[in-house]
Structure 1
Amino acid sequence: MTIVDACTRRREGGSPTAVLIDDSTLSDSSRRAIVRRAGTSHAAFVDADAETTPTVRFFTAHGELTNCGHGTIAAQAFLLHRRRIREHRVRQRTGGRTFDTTAIQRDDGIEVWFDQGTVELQGGTAAGLDSILGALGITSNDMASDDAPCVASPGTPRLLVPVRTLPTLLAMRPDLRRLAADCRRLGYLGCFVYLLSPTRRAASARMFAPAIGVGEDVVNANSTGCLAAHLFATHGHRSIDVEQGHTAGRPSSVFATATATTEGISVRVGGMATIRSRGVDHRVSPMSFG
């Protein structure tokens, strides 16, 4: 088992992610148990035998995920480090989708980018908005006046919620049980709550996803890609740098760029990663790295 800090900011913070060479004899319940043993919110299981198109599966203690943005960054950083090269460009197979990735060794860590694909934005008022806001512990008065909540999906829908002030964002203490029930009922992965900078080129954000067993995610890279698509559609901005993880004491950063294509808004997501620990045998080690 290797622990990778994904989406670090100036070599600090990031989301601790367990990365392992997958074992085909493992059951999914064993993979979930490994996540609990690791003490991380997520784990990436990599089929490293496929040199150019590895299959990567992502698990939380709750179950398997269709995809995971910061997990992809961790997995590709792990593969680059394992191969002892400075750069690779490979494709990754996850959740029935195959996409391009790039990993480059930099002085301050491993820089990883991946093709998130097309992000679908749903128009109109988000379903169940009042109930979701109540579960988050905020009201419509706390939301930004020049932006609006949006349901965005790179494969799994999630609700993007813009707030007016940084104190509102940092003080949020959602009712996680209620939020989990609402998200499951409405089909949302979770809620990505964000505050835009005046230029709309940067943001601070928090991700709550109790419906998949993650009360608050240190980093959610796929939701950053969704925000990039939303800002491109509404304001024409092509890139965003989103700070996350401050309330967890793990300052983190995710980058995303959006482009118009014939199929819709396509997004690339990137972040820095640091290999924190290596060579832990998940079969015998009782250690927690959280």
Structure 2
Amino acid sequence: MKVKVAIVDAFVDGDKGGNPAGVVLDADQLSGKQKLEIASKVGLSETAFVSKSDSADFKLDFYTPQKQIAHCGHATIATFSLLSQQGLVPNKNTSKETIDGNRDIEVMGDFAYMGQTAPEYNAPVLDHSEVYAAAGVSDSRVLCAPAIVNTGNSFLIIGVKTLSDLASLTPDYQKIEAISEEYDLIGFYVFTPETNKSGRDASTRMFAPRYGIQEESATGMAAGPLACYLYQFMGMHQQIFLIEQGYSMQPPSPSCIEVVLEREGEKITGLKAGGTGKPSRYEEIEI
């Protein structure tokens, strides 16, 4: 059987870059084993499979080449941008069902927002120096204490001082994977307040070897936790954050993620992360 897979670049910064995701429409008849096989053959960090839902407008299942995960920001943006471009999203406000519950989606042409939950904050119990060694940064170049933030998935957030510090990270993937297993993390999200383009709030890198991803060029489910971290711990009491990612990769794949916080007084009650998706090509996978 041949399965058609759209490759869609999500969170593109302008008209280039972004993070490619596989998208399979009409996936109702595919088993979990087949979805994993397809994701493995596509070889991207995540592939989304779209099927009918009884509780939302669409059901999305997300697979890395190694396993199924609950949510994926860039694959969600890729999927709803593609659905919108094909005229399959009749209303601006829509929704997705996942294995971890439903999420609201907002679509405006090629641009899509994905809802995330109110943040939960935790400090890692292990010595901070172990975290810094795993990320490959010296203690002297760390900007602020690490924290685990969850807005649907857990990421360990670490701040470094400069773009040079960010670019020169030497991650120890084995240590990151071990820490990620211990704390049930997707991975490490390292940021600096220095940015490549003016008007941005942070530049970032994301490492998720636990899921077979050494580095990813755009991570919507990590940008949400970072925006909450910046709000909660860095005194950046604003509603909208622009997070850039992918600039430090080789080759660079620039991305930009917009995060909008929902607040009651000073408390964050929810958020949405969004960006633009652009199809780049189609593949046929034999299973």
Distance 1:170 1:91, change over 3 A: same
Q: Does 1:258 align with 2:261?
A: yes
Shift of 1:112: 0.7
Amino-acid identity (%): 24
Which residue of 2 is the match for residue 287 of structure 1? none
Q: What TM-score results when the alignment is normalised by the length of structure 1?
A: 0.87
- Amino acid of the residue matched to residue 167 of structure 1? S
Deviations 1:32-59 (A, max 9, x none): 2212222311100001577961010100
CA distance in 1, matches of 2:211, 2:130: 19
> For this pair of structures, how many residues does the alignment match?
276
Which residue of 2 is the match for residue 9 of structure 1? 13
Q: Is the 8 A contact 1:117 1:267 kept in 2?
A: yes
Shift of 1:84: 6.2
Q: Does 1:267 align with 2:264?
A: no
Higher alpha-carbon deviation: 215-224 or 29-38: 29-38
Which residue of 1 is the match for residue 161 of structure 2? 164
Q: Does 1:186 align with 2:183?
A: yes
CA distance in 2, matches of 1:224, 1:5: 17
- Amino acid of the residue matched to residue 19 of structure 1? V
Secondary structure, in 3 states, of the residue corresponding to 2:118?
strand
Shift of 1:125: 5.8
Counterpart pick for 2:41 among 24, 32, 37: 37
Consecutive unaligned residues of structure 1, counting only runs of 5 or more, are 285-290
CA distance in 2, matches of 1:85, 1:94: 18
Which residue of 2 is the match for residue 83 of structure 1? 87
Secondary structure, in 3 states, of the residue corresponding to 1:26?
coil
Q: Is the 8 A contact 1:44 1:56 kept in 2?
A: yes
Consecutive unaligned residues of structure 2, counting only runs of 5 or more, are none
Which residue of 1 is the match for residue 210 of structure 2? 211
Which structure 2 residues correspond to residues 1-290 of structure 1 after superposition, within 5 A?
A: 1-47=5-51, 53-83=57-87, 88-105=92-109, 110-122=110-122, 124=123, 127-144=126-143, 147-197=144-194, 202-234=201-233, 235=235, 236-246=237-247, 247-248=249-250, 249-261=252-264, 264-278=268-282, 280-283=283-286
CA distance in 1, matches of 2:88, 2:55: 13
Q: CA RMSD in A?
A: 2.5
Q: What TM-score results when the alignment is normalised by the length of structure 2?
A: 0.87
Distance 1:244 1:113, change over 3 A: same
Higher alpha-carbon deviation: 160-169 or 130-139: 130-139
Distance 1:160 1:200, change over 3 A: farther
CA distance in 2, matches of 1:126, 1:197: 28
Q: Is the 8 A contact 2:83 2:89 kept in 1?
A: no
Shift of 1:219: 1.0
Q: Is the 8 A contact 2:47 2:64 kept in 1?
A: yes
CA distance in 2, matches of 1:50, 1:261: 31
Secondary structure, in 3 states, of the residue corresponding to 1:219?
coil
Secondary structure, in 3 states, of the residue corresponding to 1:55?
strand
Distance 1:85 1:94, change over 3 A: closer
